[in-house]
Structure 1
Amino acid sequence: MRNVSRGTSEPRFTGQVQLGDVQGQAWLGWRELLAVVDEELTAITGTSADHLPDQIAASQALITEALNRPHTSAADYLELEQSLLSGHRFHPAPKARSGREDEVRRYAPELGARFQLHYLAVRTELMRETHVSDATPTGEEAVPDGYRLLPVHPWQYAILSRGDELPAALADRRAIDLGPSGPSMRATSSVRTVAADDNGFLKLSLSVLITNCLRINPWHEVQAAVMLAGLLEPLRRDLATRFPGTVLLRETSGLTAGLGPGLADQLGVIRREGLAGRLQPGVQAVPAAALTEPVPHPALARLLERITADREVLLDWWQRYVRLVVPPVLHAYARHGVVFEAHLQNVVVGLRDGLPVQLVLRDLEGVKLVRERRAEDLAAMPARVRAHVGTPQGRGWDRVAYCLLINHVGGLVAALADRDPMAEPALWEIVSDVLSGVEPFAELEGVLAGEPVPAKTNLLTRWRGAADRDSGYVPLYLPFPA
């Protein structure tokens, strides 16, 4: 393994891995490398990650299969969502998913998953629904009198059908199985968020472990997303005015069914606004994560080849990108006490003629409010919602800084530098310049003065089998020019 130092940047590692000892050197496969890592991390944590080898193997197998799936040369937005073959760039097992192997493959976005939703009719008195004031309540087409319609991910329906509570609810007609119906939906990169086109998205509950979390929608999280959609309306207008082209997709309604103690959280649904009508003329929506793929979609491969073939073009493109993405997120934190988790999979970038011109922020369920800044708003929320949404300022900065500066900006710098290694110092210099132009606040001034940025410990989080909310952070110094 070569230690590659690029100017002022942190070391990067490429190539095959060698283990040196007194007998010489040996090439290591990933299993052998994991054994070495296991020895080190077991000494640190006192625990061996017996679950991790199988997760890495499953992730690798899915990536290998996805690499063999052909893509069309042109791409609509959902095709780009499904083009993320490697996923989280610095996660040890980004494509590992719990569950039956045939179901993992059937519903994998990387394999082009398409399917109809499964519908239940649920007794009206058992339904819970919330929506923002200007949202249209969910429809009741083809539902018997006294029942309400509930969409379910077909994978979730299969999982719940193997339990006790859903069959019991169907047996006593608290719910009626309507079966699959409706348009063909495509899974986005998050697996559980689906859409038929770009007019709207459904974020469905899925009792499957994906990266670090079981991807269900507990009712208090559904409530939180919809409450934030209304609460953040002044911020949405402010961002659109201060940073033209910035769009915040609202989560306008949510519902679930109280069919049993364990089912309400496993049936939660969140409806999210679509991109249609929110993009400027001639703008193509691109998931930011798709720009970091080692094997990008052909449509993006052509763009990346073009901008990295000429250093001047690359630096101009990157300056536009950073100016588009970074200031609005920092403004929301510093001036509004709002924590956007602007990591690569939560951001959509609008390109016109290949140039970044629009920023789309999504996934309000992950948004937090800084307790010290938004105490009045938090006090008005139900207790479980308040506990989910509120965050102390220090932890809020951890999330903003990691998601925006490490995961997003750092991940895209790494991807661009893979194509033009000598450009990396200049790319970080542009980041420093843009940060210097943001209205100052204490944490940002610290970063510009050389203080470290909190970086999430993805390997240790996965090692311990912990949820994202329990992740640790370590200090990481950004490679800004002296």
Structure 2
Amino acid sequence: MTEESSLVKAFAERMSANCFFNALLRETDTGIWHMQTEEQLPEEINIPAVSIALPASNAELWLNVSYRSECGRHQFDLPIVFRSSDDSSRVIELAEAAQLVAEEPSFFPGATAESREQFTRRVSVSVKNMAQALAVRSADIEKLFTLPLTFSEAEQALLCGHSIHPTPKSRDPFTDEDAERYAPEFGNSFTLVWLGVAPQYLRGASGAEISEAQFADLVRETDGGPVAPEGFIAIPAHPWQWRKLCEDPRIVELLEDGKIVELGEGCEPWRATSSLRAIYNGRSPYMLKFSLSLRLTNSVRTLQPKEMVRGLEVLKVRDTPVGQEFANRYPRFQVLAEPAYLMLADNSGEQIIESLVMFRENPFPGESAENTCLLATLTQDHPDGSPCRAAQLIQRLAEEENISDEASSRRWFNAFLDAVIEPLLIAQADFGILFGAHQQNLILSFDGALPSKGYFRDCQGSGYSRLGEQLLKPYLPNLAQNSENVIDEKMANRLFVYYLVVNSCFGLISALSAAGISSEKELLRQLRERLQLLNEGQRRDHSCLEYLLNSSEIWAKGNFQCAVIGMNETTTEDPLSIYHTMVNPLMTAAELEAA
């Protein structure tokens, strides 16, 4: 192994261990924090450190801690040390640590032996996948963390994936070759496959003035795709998914009967965005999101018809007086609508959901794509432990404005709250509209180093509270009839706060504080002040703001539980079944301030 490959492997191991142990500690609360120098420590472990008991093995796992976070995203340094009951210790890799955790019956008792075995395999594969991407992109690291990026560059800069997840880069059943071609972190592009389909074998809908078939034709024209023969409609297909679909007996039958004709490839380069199944081309008026028959993190990524209906509804909601009032209040925030979708139907007329393609608005054509970045890329760990991209932007702003890092941090974080956090909180509190705004669904445009505009994407994560239902039903009497996303207050607040605040806002606060840019206490104080200011206003629904401000505990998603049990998150009947409580750091911040 060369020195460079050893370094890449070490980077992947450290980044993966951080994702793994942050998820485990948040969900199990089993970590014992060691802060006193007089404690007896295993070799290679220094203060501060954390240990995790493994009762079944009569042993402990130990990690060095470089940063402990009130928000729950700590920073750990390798090595991982296994200490036995006789006090002997040895260094182990994450793969062995994952196996020891998976064999521990006290962790996630609902998991089967088979799911635990699959889990340990996915952890190992995820580390390997991350190392593969880091090796390919090693020459790009400086640019990805320090220089202005276009929309597609930022989407393909997310090397680590979900920062609190035990398998952030698992992607069954992609091969290494598939990943290099289609996964965003490898920075590559590919061309679309175009199909000609007899109209009676198409299903879909449009929420706009033009039909779903016309949406496909608009994309085909900008893609330079082949024209369908007379009596057929041209639709796009993801090349990897089309290869899988060609193994499906339903598709084989349609091909043999001449109901589907493979027309050939388009001419334009398309690039995967951070979600992998959504793709982008700078000349196209629409991004495309496909069903992909693979498991990424918690879900098999097959789109569901009810999720497509949500995209059409968001477009209609946006056009109501309620939606227009929200847009007028926050003109620098945009929700990307998903106005149409298409899929194939088999010979019996049944939908083939594995063939689904959804059309999403593209606000980043040409030069509009410049100096734009999704939140997850801003907060991800630097492979060598240097400050994250967001911290480096704050340092750049400080240099440009000749101000301190602390002053720059306050200004930058305030601009972030203006761009995305406040608009989404008011969408909930005044309009009853809920957006699942996690780090990969939030995009920021910048004026230099400062956030200036926010975007939310992925309408499958949208919903409405009872307030939203009440406000919108006069204009949309069939709201949520087929999308199943009117949610009661308790569930709405827990889900909404997890995505927007725990995942996105706390994730950013942890990343900035770990980089030494500002203290968590100061950033939490800023966030709390904004929440209090909003709550003091004439809100229609105070429940979510008060939940954030006054609850000693809030709810967070159990990504570790999902991974160990092998649950498909998108099809679970009770979303809250994978949630757990965590200490609310906003309350901790308030107590510290009062003291």
TM-score relative to the length of structure 1 = 0.90
Shift in Å at residue 290 of structure 1?
A: 0.9
Q: Is this contact kept in 1: 2:195–2:263, CA < 8 A?
A: yes
Q: Is this contact kept in 1: 2:71–2:509, CA < 8 A?
A: no
Match of 2:38 in 1: none
Q: Partner letter of residue 277 of structure 2? A: R
Structure 1 pair 277/46, CA: closer, same or farther in 2 (3 Å)?
closer
Q: Secondary structure at the match of 1:138?
A: helix
Structure 1 pair 139/201, CA: closer, same or farther in 2 (3 Å)?
closer
Shift in Å at residue 478 of structure 1?
A: 2.7
Q: Secondary structure at the match of 1:103?
A: helix
Q: Which moved more, 1:42-51 or 1:359-368?
A: 42-51
User: 2: distance between equivalents of 1:129 and 1:216?
Assistant: 16
Shift in Å at residue 104 of structure 1?
A: 3.1
Which residues in structure 2 correspond to 1:292-331 (within 5 Å)? 292-295=379-382, 302-303=392-393, 305-306=395-396, 310-331=405-426
Q: Partner letter of residue 184 of structure 1? A: P
Q: Secondary structure at the match of 1:407?
A: helix
Match of 2:184 in 1: 109
2:401 is the alignment partner of 1:339: no
Structure 1 pair 75/230, CA: closer, same or farther in 2 (3 Å)?
same
Match of 1:228 in 2: 314
Match of 2:335 among 231, 235, 248: 248
Match of 1:64 in 2: 131
User: 2: distance between equivalents of 1:340 and 1:46?
Assistant: 30
2:257 is the alignment partner of 1:161: no
2:498 is the alignment partner of 1:412: no
Q: Secondary structure at the match of 2:437?
A: coil
Structure 1 pair 293/128, CA: closer, same or farther in 2 (3 Å)?
same
Match of 1:436 in 2: 532
Structure 1 pair 97/5, CA: closer, same or farther in 2 (3 Å)?
closer
User: 1: distance between equivalents of 2:492 and 2:407?
Assistant: 36
2:581 is the alignment partner of 1:475: yes
2:77 is the alignment partner of 1:15: yes
Structure 1 pair 106/9, CA: closer, same or farther in 2 (3 Å)?
closer
**Greater Rg by CA:** 2
User: 2: distance between equivalents of 1:164 and 1:85?
Assistant: 36
Q: Secondary structure at the match of 1:229?
A: helix
Shift in Å at residue 237 of structure 1?
A: 2.6
Structure 1 pair 298/112, CA: closer, same or farther in 2 (3 Å)?
farther
Q: Partner letter of residue 236 of structure 2? A: P
User: 1: distance between equivalents of 2:380 and 2:70?
Assistant: 24
Structure 1 pair 200/282, CA: closer, same or farther in 2 (3 Å)?
closer
User: 2: distance between equivalents of 1:391 and 1:382?
Assistant: 10
Q: Which moved more, 1:2-11 or 1:425-434?
A: 2-11
Match of 1:131 in 2: 206
1:146-204 per-residue CA deviation (whole Å, 9 max, x = no partner) reads: 11111110010111112212111100011111122231111111111111117421111
Q: Partner letter of residue 264 of structure 1? A: I
Q: Partner letter of residue 456 of structure 1? A: K
Q: Is this contact kept in 2: 1:4–1:11, CA < 8 A?
A: no
Shift in Å at residue 371 of structure 1?
A: 4.7
Q: Is this contact kept in 1: 2:198–2:232, CA < 8 A?
A: yes
Q: Is this contact kept in 2: 1:225–1:251, CA < 8 A?
A: yes
1:324-378 per-residue CA deviation (whole Å, 9 max, x = no partner) reads: 2222111111222221001011111111011111111111122112256416748
Match of 2:552 among 441, 451, 454: 451
Among the aligned pairs, what percent are the same residue?
24
Q: Which moved more, 1:211-220 or 1:302-311?
A: 302-311
Shift in Å at residue 274 of structure 1?
A: 0.9
Match of 1:219 among 294, 305, 320: 305
2:197 is the alignment partner of 1:122: yes
2:264 is the alignment partner of 1:264: no
Q: Which moved more, 1:70-79 or 1:350-359?
A: 70-79
2:519 is the alignment partner of 1:423: yes
Match of 2:153 in 1: 79
Structure 1 pair 394/176, CA: closer, same or farther in 2 (3 Å)?
same
Q: Secondary structure at the match of 2:104?
A: helix
Q: Is this contact kept in 2: 1:222–1:269, CA < 8 A?
A: no
Structure 1 pair 346/88, CA: closer, same or farther in 2 (3 Å)?
same
User: 2: distance between equivalents of 1:346 and 1:263?
Assistant: 28
Q: Secondary structure at the match of 1:14?
A: strand
1:197-248 per-residue CA deviation (whole Å, 9 max, x = no partner) reads: 1742111121111111121223332233113211233454333322231111
User: 2: distance between equivalents of 1:125 and 1:244?
Assistant: 42
Q: Is this contact kept in 1: 2:181–2:190, CA < 8 A?
A: no
* Structure 1, unpaired ranges of 5+: none
Q: Partner letter of residue 124 of structure 1? A: P
Q: Is this contact kept in 1: 2:151–2:369, CA < 8 A?
A: no
2:275 is the alignment partner of 1:190: yes
Structure 1 pair 194/184, CA: closer, same or farther in 2 (3 Å)?
same
Structure 1 pair 330/165, CA: closer, same or farther in 2 (3 Å)?
same
User: 1: distance between equivalents of 2:117 and 2:360?
Assistant: 38
2:102 is the alignment partner of 1:35: no
Q: Partner letter of residue 364 of structure 1? A: C
Q: Partner letter of residue 534 of structure 2? A: V
User: 2: distance between equivalents of 1:9 and 1:170?
Assistant: 53
1:95-129 per-residue CA deviation (whole Å, 9 max, x = no partner) reads: 11112413233211111131111111111122223
* Structure 2, unpaired ranges of 5+: 1-62, 218-225, 399-403, 537-541
Match of 2:232 among 147, 150, 154: 147
User: 2: distance between equivalents of 1:36 and 1:59?
Assistant: 17
User: 2: distance between equivalents of 1:272 and 1:9?
Assistant: 33
Match of 2:17 in 1: none
Q: Secondary structure at the match of 2:164?
A: coil
1:430-458 per-residue CA deviation (whole Å, 9 max, x = no partner) reads: 11111111135123213212432211111
Q: Is this contact kept in 2: 1:74–1:299, CA < 8 A?
A: no
Q: Secondary structure at the match of 1:330?
A: helix
Structure 1 pair 266/437, CA: closer, same or farther in 2 (3 Å)?
same
User: 1: distance between equivalents of 2:357 and 2:128?
Assistant: 30
1:45-90 per-residue CA deviation (whole Å, 9 max, x = no partner) reads: 1424111122122221221121121335553210110000001110
Structure 1 pair 143/110, CA: closer, same or farther in 2 (3 Å)?
same
Match of 2:12 in 1: none
Q: Is this contact kept in 2: 1:95–1:211, CA < 8 A?
A: yes
Q: Secondary structure at the match of 2:276?
A: coil
User: 2: distance between equivalents of 1:194 and 1:436?
Assistant: 39
Q: Secondary structure at the match of 1:294?
A: coil
Match of 2:462 among 367, 373, 395: 367
User: 1: distance between equivalents of 2:299 and 2:108?
Assistant: 23
Match of 2:163 in 1: 89
Structure 1 pair 33/62, CA: closer, same or farther in 2 (3 Å)?
same
Match of 2:294 among 185, 202, 208: 208
Structure 1 pair 64/423, CA: closer, same or farther in 2 (3 Å)?
same
User: 2: distance between equivalents of 1:83 and 1:453?
Assistant: 31
Q: Secondary structure at the match of 2:173?
A: coil
Match of 1:2 among 64, 69, 74: 64
Q: Is this contact kept in 1: 2:215–2:359, CA < 8 A?
A: no
Shift in Å at residue 420 of structure 1?
A: 0.8
Structure 1 pair 287/12, CA: closer, same or farther in 2 (3 Å)?
closer
Q: Which moved more, 1:229-238 or 1:448-457?
A: 229-238
Q: Is this contact kept in 2: 1:254–1:270, CA < 8 A?
A: yes
Q: Secondary structure at the match of 1:178?
A: strand
User: 1: distance between equivalents of 2:247 and 2:360?
Assistant: 29
Structure 1 pair 37/390, CA: closer, same or farther in 2 (3 Å)?
same
1:8-43 per-residue CA deviation (whole Å, 9 max, x = no partner) reads: 665835123333343223333212221332233555
